[in-house]
Structure 1
Amino acid sequence: MERESMEFDVLIVGGGPAGLSAACRVKQLAQEAGEELEVCVVEKGSEIGAHILAGTVFEPTALNELFPDWKERGAPLNTPVTRDDIFLLKNQEKATKVPNAFVPKNMHNQGNYIISLGNLCRWLGEQAEELGVEVYPGFAADQTIVEDGQVKGIITGDMGVAADGSEKDGYMPGMELRAKYTLFTEGSRGHLGKRLIKDFKLDEGKDAQHYGIGIKELWDIDPAKHEPGLVVHTTGWPLSETGTTGGSFLYHLENGQVYVGLITDLSYSNPHLSPFDEFQRLKLHTEFRKYLEGGKRVSYGARALTKGGYNALPKMSFPGGLLLGCDAGTLNSSKIKGSHTAMKSGLLGAEAVFEALKSGQTGEEITSFADRYENSWLYKELYDERNFGPAMHKFGNFIGGAIAFFEQNILRRSLPFTFRDLTPDYATMKPAAESKKVEYPKPDNKLTFDKLSSVFISNTNHAENQPVHLKLTDPDIPIKENLPKYNEPAQRYCPAGVYEVVEAEDGSGKKFQINAQNCVHCKTCDIKDPAQNITWVPPEGGGGPTYPNM
C-alpha cells in the first residue's frame, strides 16, 4: 500500500506545553497578519495530555504572554501556592526544616500554581483547535524525512504490524506529513530529537546532557490533613544513603488530593539502586506518612527529565526545523520547573517560523531563532542557573545547595566562572562488586506498592502482538556483559518492570526478558543503560499510559 501524504506550513511533533504553545502562537500571528497558515500537531498519546507527567508547580510567565486572558478562558490553574516548606531528611524519622532565609530564592513559589500539566495541555489543545490548528492524537512520529540536507517532515508509524513484522488484518502504512518547517517538541529524550542532535551535530562543543527519572503518584488524602496550596520539597534521605543526588516533593492541589514524587538524578553510580523502590521508601518518612496514611493512591507515572541546562543545551535550529522544550533541554532544574521554559521556547520558535514563512523561506535554517532566544528571558534564566546542576553532581546536595544560595541570594547573579559536568549519565555506573547492596522493604500495599500494581493504575495499554519497541543493538550484551559486571541494572532502573533476568525455558541459563507491554515511556533505559544498547522507539500510536489529572 502506498503511503498517503499531507502537506502543512508548520508541523509540530509532540502535544506537550512547548508544541501546543508554538501551535497557538503561529496561528495567532497568522490571524493578526490576515494570513492563512496550515498548522498541524501530531501526538503519540491516545489523547492530548495522556503522556504528560510533571510535578507540577507551574510558573505562569509564558502563559501570560500567550493568553493574557487565561483566567477568563478557564485555564486549569486552580490552586495558588500558599506556603513553601523545605526539609533536609536525615533518616526515616528525622527531618530538619530549612529556614526561609536560607532557601535559594528560586525555590520560593509565590505567584505560582499547583496544577495538573496534563490538564493544562488538554486545555491548550482546545485553544489550538479553536484557533484552527489540526490536532492528531494517536499518531506516533516514527521517522524524520530528510531530503537534500533539510528536514521536510515526518512519517508516522505503521498501524497493524505483528510482532514478527508481518501485516495483520487492517494494516495501514504510516503517513507522510510534510511541512515547510517542522518543530520537534517530543519531551525529554525524544527519539527523533536524539537523532537530529546526532545527525546535525547540534551538541558540538556542549557538555554532556544529564537526566533525572521522576516518579510520581496522585493520592486522595484525609480532608483534615489537606492544605490546598502547600508545597513541600525535601532533599537527603533516602538517596543520600547511596550518595545519590535528587529530591522529592509533595504538593497539595485541589479536591483533597496531593502529588507525591521523587526525582533521582540518573548520574547515580550504584547499580543496585532502584529509583522506584527509593520512592516507595520515601513515603515511609514521617513527613510524608503523616499526610498519606489513611489515604488512597489514585494514579502512578514515571518520566525522564532533561537536567543538563544551559551548558548542555544543543543548538536548536537546523535546516527545516527547530528543536524546542524538553526535547532540547530547556528545564531550569534550580527551580524544579520546565513547563514555563518549554512554553517560552515554543513561543520563540513560533515567532521565528512565522517570520521565516512571511519572508518566503521554505526549509532554510532559521538563523534568526538564535538571536530571539539570546535576547529573551529564557536565555537569561538558563544562563544564570548554569552552575546549579554541575555543582549538585560535583559536590552533592548540601554544598551544591549552598552554592545556589550564594549565587541567587547573596550575589544575585551567577559566579564569574562555570562548573562543568562532562561525564554522561550512562558512564557513571560502578561495577556491582564494588558497590554497596541496597535492601528494600517489601511493599505493605498501604503506603508502598510493587511495580506491576503501579503500572496498572497508570492505565498503560499497548496493542497486542506488535513489535517490541525497546530495541537491543546487541541482544547478547545484557547477559554476557551487563549481568556479570552490573547485575543487569535495567531490572532496577526501569520503574515499570519491563526488564527481567529469568531462567531460559530450555534450561540453558539466564535470559533477558523484555515485557514491553508494561512500558510507561519514561525513556530511562535509553538514557541509563551502561552499554547504550537499548533504543526506545515509539510503539503503535496511542499506546502507553493514559494519565488522569497528572
Structure 2
Amino acid sequence: VSIGQLVSLDYSDPFLDPHREFQKMKMHPLISALLKDGKMLQYGAKSVPVSGYYSVPRLVFDGALIIGDSASLFNGMMIKGINLAMRSGMAAAEAIFECLINDDFSIDRLEKYSQKLSKTKEMKGLYRTRNFHQAMEKGLYFGMMTAGLQHILGGSIFGMRLKSAPDHTHLKTVKEFYGRENVTDHEKGDIKYDGSLTFDKETDIYYSGATHEEDQPPHLHIRDYDICYTRCTEEYQNPCVRFCPAQVYEMEIDEATGKREMRLNFSNCVHCKTCDIKDPYENITWVAPEGGGGPKYNIM
C-alpha cells in the first residue's frame, strides 16, 4: 500500500507542519483500517510544481533541454505528472536522435523538442488547466467554480490569466493568524506519535535512506542568521522547524545564556526544497549537494 498527501505550500498558518498533517491523516478510520498491522517500508517527501502551464520555463538551450518536473510539467488539477514526464522524455529522445544524426545540438535544432511537445495531448491538457492553481489561491469555493468554468471554456476564464503570488507571501505571522502570540500546543495541532501508525520525523528520515558525506560543504545556505534569531522568532516563531519534513532545522536555546542557535542537520535533507520555497524572508537557499547525496527511493 502506498499512501501520500499533497499539501499546498500557499498555506497561511505559521504552525502548520505538513509532516504532522500527514500523520494525522493516517489516523482517520478509513485510512488506519488500510494500514492496520502494516509495516513502514519507505518514507519520502518532495515539492510538486503545481503552478502549471504559466510556470513552464524555456525548455531548450544550446546543448541542453529540460524535461519532466524540472520543467514544471505537472497538471495540478489532475494531480498528475508522470504522463507529462514520459511524454516529454519521448519528445526529447526524438529531438536528440535528430541532433545526433546531424551532429548539431544548437538551440535551433533542439527547438524541435519544444515543438513536438506542444502538439501532444498531455501538453494541451496542461494548457486547458493553466489557471487552476491561481484560482485555488482564492479559496475552495471560488477555485472549484473557476475550475469548472475553465474546463468548459478550454482553460480561459473570460480571457484572463489569473494572477498568482509566491507561496511564501501567503504565510501570516502568529499574531495575524491567531490574534495573539501565545498559542497552545493543542491549537498548533500537535499530536503524540505511536511508532506503529504515526511516526516522528527522526524515524521517518531513517526510512528515507537519506545519506550525505558528513564532511562536504552544506548545501543549505542561510543568508542572514540574525533574521532567524530576531524577526523570524518574533513574528513567525521559526516556521522552518515545522515546514521541513526531515527536521533539518532545529532552534536550540543555550540554558546558561538563553541565546538561540539555529542548528542545521543537513545530512537529514531529502531535497524537497520546501525551505527554499516557503521561508517567509527568502532567507534559505537550497543548492545541489556534492556526490549526489540524498534520499534513496528504491520502491517509491
Q: TM-score, normalised by structure 1?
A: 0.50
* Structure 1 residues 313 and 447: CA distance shift in structure 2, 3 A: same
Q: Tell me whether 1:497 sits opposite 2:247 in the alignment.
A: yes
The aligned counterpart of 1:535 is: 285
Q: Residue deviations 1:19-51, cap 9 Å, x none?
A: xxxxxxxxxxxxxxxxxxxxxxxxxxxxxxxxx
Distance 1:460 1:421 in 2: 37
Q: Tell me whether 1:277 sits opposite 2:20 in the alignment.
A: yes
Distance 1:441 1:376 in 2: 46
Q: Residue deviations 1:228-283, cap 9 Å, x none?
A: xxxxxxxxxxxxxxxxxxxxxxxxxxxxxx11111101111111110111111111
* Structure 2 counterparts to residues 247-258 of structure 1, below 5 A: 258=1
* Structure 2 counterparts to residues 386-425 of structure 1, below 5 A: 386-396=130-140, 398-405=141-148, 407-408=150-151, 411=152, 413-415=154-156, 416-425=158-167
* CA-based RMSD: 2.2
Aligned residues with identical type, % of pairs = 38
The aligned counterpart of 2:126 is: 382
Is this contact kept in 1: 2:60–2:107, CA < 8 A? Answer: no
Distance 1:270 1:281 in 2: 16
Query: Which of residues 464, 474, 479 is equivalent to 2:224?
Result: 474
Letter in 1 for 2:9: L
Distance 1:542 1:529 in 2: 24
Is this contact kept in 2: 1:391–1:419, CA < 8 A? Answer: no
Letter in 1 for 2:80: K
Distance 1:530 1:310 in 2: 25
The aligned counterpart of 2:184 is: none
**Helix, strand or coil at the partner of 1:433:** helix
CA shift at 1:448, angstroms? 1.3
Distance 2:146 2:174 in 1: 32
The aligned counterpart of 2:175 is: 433
Letter in 2 for 1:425: D
Distance 1:448 1:272 in 2: 19
Is this contact kept in 2: 1:307–1:333, CA < 8 A? Answer: yes
The aligned counterpart of 1:514 is: 264
In structure 1, stretches of 5+ residues that fail to align are 1-257
Distance 2:258 2:192 in 1: 30
CA shift at 1:511, angstroms? 1.1
CA shift at 1:304, angstroms? 0.8
Distance 1:468 1:295 in 2: 36
Distance 2:285 2:145 in 1: 37
Q: Which has the larger strand fraction?
A: 1
Distance 1:260 1:402 in 2: 28
Distance 1:335 1:534 in 2: 30
Greater RCO, 1 or 2 (C-alpha within 8 Å, sep 6+): 2
CA shift at 1:508, angstroms? 5.6
Letter in 2 for 1:548: N
**Helix, strand or coil at the partner of 2:246:** coil
The aligned counterpart of 1:308 is: 51
The aligned counterpart of 1:325 is: 68
Is this contact kept in 2: 1:443–1:450, CA < 8 A? Answer: yes
Bigger radius of gyration, 1 or 2?
1
Letter in 2 for 1:387: N
Q: Which has the larger helix fraction?
A: 2
The aligned counterpart of 2:35 is: 292
Letter in 2 for 1:433: K
In structure 2, stretches of 5+ residues that fail to align are 179-186
Letter in 2 for 1:464: E
Aligned residue pairs total 290
The aligned counterpart of 1:347 is: 90
CA shift at 1:376, angstroms? 2.0
Q: TM-score, normalised by structure 2?
A: 0.88
